[in-house]
């Protein structure tokens, strides 16, 4: 008799040979400590490398399977010898075989709705094994479909196959080193750890789990996620790279054809980190199933997910959640809607971003997060727009943008265009009144004035300030040693010098030109540069 899960698979993917049946097996541990499993009838075959679900009456013999293994996987993969399913299986950690899976008891994570993730091996490859109760067979089937559709992107957790027994469906997933949430908590000071509302036993258990994760992280000393400047922390290039990885994963899901995938449950625990061969990469996991399984974590869902009367759940829900994740990572573990778990969803519905001031010293981050956390879904940027936001630009790109902006507005001086008026209107926000006095160097100011004897500089003009930054950038190599020492190395030090004097200048200039010039060819390399 077929289980509800198999009936669902048959209904979704075609008929199944009823001669296959379910496995009849015995298992145990002999006196020598060898795990064994005797399979009288082999279980259904799980998906192959191409993701196609097929159900032959018997698995291929072990020789053929080993040939498949060698054909598909390189020797560089993390693997153990693939066990003969008809013979004894040994592994140093207690576990059991289920079809192609060797499932260990080392827990990686535990979720709601009786889901868990443990270590394991699938066809000899190290994997994370996610189990779902067979009573949730519809959820399991849905996740299999989503994994098949979303596979083969570097920022999506890979799926290798599935098995099942009389109680659970087991999904073999790419095994990563930790979650983004774990990484942030491990590298943040203890005071930032999100344990204030845990009971003492739970705090101890949480600490022990993080210690275990930390012990397995390679080259932890090289994982610098924040840079301290004037007693404030800024995201490092590595952290910004991880955040872009998340958005690239979302953009991939959102642009799948014919059916885009909406994650619906993006949070730090659902973004995994892979550290391999000197590279660090973030990968989106657990996509698309939270619509059917309720999540127990508050504070990461968009308003329209909490109150259906606010609108339907579209791709914008993932961007709202990403805004929360971005804030959490930049602030070393804080939440934009407060540290009280029980109040977060209330604050989301009230649009009460209680901690937004924590990123005021990073205007680009403040701008992007504010847009991502807009209560109205249509007001949030799309994933590809986020990828092109200047928060992710390096110093050289920002200086190039200053040059393009200065060249674009220069001809408008006499005409007093809408663009020029909008640019000068930012003077109060930028705080550039008498901006020459903020440069803290009489020699530098004299140098600027000496170059403009016929054309006196207006030291209250935003346009003039941008023009000076552009001009000195073009002629950096011609500056005297003392001025170079003042400005710092080019381009990072040079950009940081002006950013430290006028922190909001760049984002305000960006917003003006994004509003008025984003359709112009010269700006497309900034506004349409990144693709998923």
Active site residues per annotation: 265
**Comparing C-alpha atoms, which of 376, 372, 366 is closest to residue 386?**
372
Residue 472, token pair as written in the block: 């000195």
Q: HSE of 119 in the Cβ direction (CA atoms, 13 Å)?
A: 17
Task: Give the total residue count for the chain.
Answer: 532
Please give the Cα distance from 320 to 302 (Å, whole number).
6
Q: Which residue has the tokens 């709202």?
A: 320
Are the CB atoms for 44 and 20 separated by under 8 Å? yes
Q: Which residues contact 471 (CB under 8 A, 6 or more apart)?
A: 451
Q: How many CB atoms lie within 10 A of CB 493?
A: 14
Residue 315, token pair as written in the block: 């791709």
Q: How many CB atoms lie within 10 A of CB 518?
A: 13
Are the CB atoms for 309 and 260 separated by under 8 Å? no
Q: Which residues on neighbouring strands pair with residue 32, listed in sequence order?
A: none
**Comparing C-alpha atoms, which of 403, 302, 378 is closest to residue 347?**
302
Q: Which residues on neighbouring strands pair with residue 170, listed in sequence order?
A: 131, 163
> Distance between terminal CA atoms of the chain?
45
Are the CB atoms for 261 and 143 separated by under 8 Å? no
Please give the Cα distance from 243 to 503 (Å, whole number).
22
H-run or E-run covering 88: strand 88-89
Q: Which residues contact 74 (CB under 8 A, 6 or more apart)?
A: none
Strand residue runs (E) in 165-270: 168-174, 178-179, 226-229, 232-235
Q: How many CB atoms lie within 10 A of CB 78?
A: 11
Between helices 395-409 and 505-517, what is the axis angle to 10°? Answer: 60
DSSP H helical ranges for 381-461: 383-387, 395-409, 418-424, 427-430, 442-450
Give ∠ CA 136-139-142 in degrees, rounded to 5.
150
Q: Which residues contact 120 (CB under 8 A, 6 or more apart)?
A: 95, 101, 102, 103, 104, 126, 127, 128, 129, 170, 172
Residue 141, token pair as written in the block: 């089937």
Q: Which residues contact 90 (CB under 8 A, 6 or more apart)?
A: 33, 34, 35
């Amino acid at each position: 008799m077929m289980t509800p899960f198999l009936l669902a698979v048959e209904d979704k993917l075609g008929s199944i040979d009823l001669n296959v049946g379910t496995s009849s097996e015995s298992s145990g541990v002999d006196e020598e400590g060898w795990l064994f499993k005797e399979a009288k009838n082999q279980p259904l075959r799980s998906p192959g490398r191409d993701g196609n679900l097929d159900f032959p009456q018997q698995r291929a013999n072990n020789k053929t399977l080993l040939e498949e293994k060698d054909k598909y996987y390189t020797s560089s993969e993390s693997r153990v010898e693939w066990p003969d399913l008809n013979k004894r299986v040994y592994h140093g950690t207690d576990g059991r075989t289920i079809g192609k899976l060797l499932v260990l008891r080392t827990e990686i994570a535990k979720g709601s709705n009786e889901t868990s993730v443990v270590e394991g091996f699938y066809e000899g490859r190290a994997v994370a094994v996610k189990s779902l109760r067979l009573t949730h067979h519809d959820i399991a089937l849905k996740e299999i479909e989503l994994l098949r559709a979303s596979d083969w992107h570097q920022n999506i957790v890979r799926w290798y196959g599935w098995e099942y027994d009389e109680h659970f469906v087991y999904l073999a997933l790419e095994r990563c080193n930790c979650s983004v949430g774990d990484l942030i908590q491990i590298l943040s000071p203890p005071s930032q750890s999100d344990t204030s509302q845990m009971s003492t036993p739970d705090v101890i258990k949480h600490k022990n789990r993080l210690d275990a994760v930390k012990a397995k992280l390679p080259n932890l000393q090289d994982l610098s996620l924040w840079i301290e400047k004037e007693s404030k922390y800024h995201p490092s290039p590595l952290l910004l790279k991880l955040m872009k990885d998340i958005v690239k994963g979302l953009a991939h899901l959102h642009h799948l054809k014919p059916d885009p995938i909406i994650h619906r449950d993006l949070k730090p625990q659902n973004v995994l980190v892979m550290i391999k061969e000197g590279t660090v990469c973030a990968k989106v996991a657990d996509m698309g199933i939270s619509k059917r399984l309720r999540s127990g974590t508050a504070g990461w869902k968009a308003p329209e997910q909490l109150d259906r009367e606010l609108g339907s759940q579209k791709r914008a829900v993932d961007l709202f959640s990403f805004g929360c994740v971005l804030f959490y990572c930049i602030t070393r573990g804080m939440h934009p809607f407060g540290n009280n778990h029980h109040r977060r969803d209330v604050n989301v519905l009230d649009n009460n971003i209680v901690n937004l001031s924590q990123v005021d010293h990073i205007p680009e981050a403040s701008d992007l997060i504010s847009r991502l956390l807009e209560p109205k879904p249509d007001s949030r940027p799309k994933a590809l727009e986020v990828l092109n936001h200047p928060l992710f630009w390096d110093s050289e790109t920002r200086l190039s943008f200053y040059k393009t902006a200065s060249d674009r507005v220069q001809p408008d001086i006499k005409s007093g265009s809408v663009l020029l008026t909008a640019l000068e209107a930012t003077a109060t926000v930028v705080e550039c009144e008498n901006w020459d006095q903020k440069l803290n160097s009489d020699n530098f100011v004299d140098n600027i004035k000496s170059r403009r004897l016929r054309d006196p500089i207006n030291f209250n003009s935003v346009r003039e300030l941008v023009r000076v930054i552009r001009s000195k950038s073009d002629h950096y190599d011609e500056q005297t040693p003392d001025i170079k020492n003042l400005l710092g190395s080019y381009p990072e030090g040079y950009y940081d010098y002006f950013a430290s004097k006028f922190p909001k200048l760049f984002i305000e200039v960006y917003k003006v030109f994004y509003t008025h010039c984003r359709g112009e060819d010269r700006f497309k390399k900034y506004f349409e540069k990144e693709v998923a």
